[in-house]
Amino acid sequence: MTTKSTNVQLSLDSLYQINGTIALHVQDLLNDPLPGETDQARFTLFAKTDWTPDQETREASKAFRAVMADFVNFLDKAIFFKQCAVQPLEISPLPKSMSAGELTVYLQGQVDERILAIARDQRLTNPKKLAEFEEGLDDWARATTSGYFSLRRCLEHHFQRPDKDIEFLVRVPTVRAGDQDLGPGDSVESGAMITLLPTVRMRIFPANQPVQLKAQDVVDAAVTLIQVINPQIVEYVRRIRDERKPEQGGVT
């Protein structure tokens, strides 16, 4: 009996679904409706003002850990797509005859199992997962993600006191009316010219000092991941896919 293998075609577009879950954590943090993914700049106009400093730090830390958990999920999925770009995923043999709908469900289950195996691989620490895409990230993106993981470790394991300075970098659109940068709660006069400018900011969380994370820090980090980091990783995997032989199949 001859068995045919099934070459699974995968779409990189599904990686962007992670962006939606990252945005939801920001929505929960700010308790305010969020725009769609194409209007992330409006994140910078949202901030809650009725928290005490301790409450803001606590809620922001919780939201940042959730955002980073979803970023790690993104890396797990991206590693799987990178593997498929190099060597197409083949499932053989199918356990039984299936309709098109049954086959779709079955194949998705197989894909999910392989992504879960990557997530559970204890040899793949977060720095090693990030290193899978080192060639696709520019220097600024590598420094930024390294800082985010350092901050996450500090919040989870170091009693929110880093053992060395943490550079917290973000790249977000600044909303400007005329020559004035707008912040949360600022009003704008009628007829003002509104512009969006990409702005890089950096905070230093000093060693051996409690981290005072703000809600806006989490918003800006989420925007940076969605608009800067994740697209570089997706583009890198896409480039690997495009360099393979056309007959290989695999990721689309």
Task: Please check whether residue 120 lies inside any domain of the structure.
Answer: yes
Checking if the pLDDT of 6 tops 60, the result is: no
- Write the CA distances from 47 to 21, 22, 27, 44, 104, integer angstroms: 19, 17, 11, 8, 42
Task: Please check whether residue 82 lies inside any domain of the structure.
Answer: yes
φ, ψ (nearest 5 deg) of residue 121: -70, 105
- Write the CA distances from 79 to 15, 143, 234, integer angstroms: 11, 20, 10
φ, ψ (nearest 5 deg) of residue 141: -65, -40
Task: Please check whether residue 178 lies inside any domain of the structure.
Answer: no
Checking if the pLDDT of 133 tops 80, the result is: yes
Task: Please check whether residue 153 lies inside any domain of the structure.
Answer: no
User: What mean pLDDT comes out for the span 204-229?
Assistant: 93
Hey, is 168 helix, strand or coil?
A: strand
pLDDT confidence bin for 109, thresholds 50/70/90: confident
Domain of 224, in residue numbers: 6-136+212-248
Q: Which residue has the higher pLDDT, 237 or 27?
A: 237
Rounded to whole angstroms, the Cα distance separating 227 from 224 reads: 5
- DSSP calls for 67-134: HHHHHHHHHHHHHHHHHHHHS--EE-S-SS---HHHHHHHHHHHHHHHHHHHHH-TT--HHHHHHTTG
Task: Please check whether residue 129 lies inside any domain of the structure.
Answer: yes
Total domain count for the chain? Answer: 1
Residue 79: the pLDDT is 94
**Count of other CB atoms within 10 angstroms of residue 5:** 12
User: What mean pLDDT comes out for the span 129-144?
Assistant: 96
Checking if the pLDDT of 178 tops 50, the result is: yes
H helix intervals, the chain: 17-30, 53-86, 100-120, 126-131, 139-157, 215-224, 230-243
User: What mean pLDDT comes out for the span 220-230?
Assistant: 93
Q: What does DSSP assign to residue 201?
A: E
Look over the chain and give the mean of its residue pLDDT values, rounded to a whole number.
81
Residue 12: the pLDDT is 65
Q: What angle do CA 146, 152, 158 make, to 5 degrees?
A: 115
The model's pTM is 0.79
Rounded to whole angstroms, the Cα distance separating 16 from 42 reads: 19
Residue 41: the pLDDT is 36
Rounded to whole angstroms, the Cα distance separating 252 from 250 reads: 7
Task: Please check whether residue 42 lies inside any domain of the structure.
Answer: yes
Task: Please check whether residue 203 lies inside any domain of the structure.
Answer: no
Task: Please check whether residue 149 lies inside any domain of the structure.
Answer: no
Residues composing the chain: 252
Residue 92: the pLDDT is 66
Q: Which residue has the higher pLDDT, 58 or 10?
A: 58
Nearest to 145 by CA among 61, 89, 75, 83: 75
Residue 55: the pLDDT is 87
Residue 140: the pLDDT is 97
User: What mean pLDDT comes out for the span 40-56?
Assistant: 59
Output the six-digit token pair for 58. 């606590």
pLDDT confidence bin for 36, thresholds 50/70/90: very low
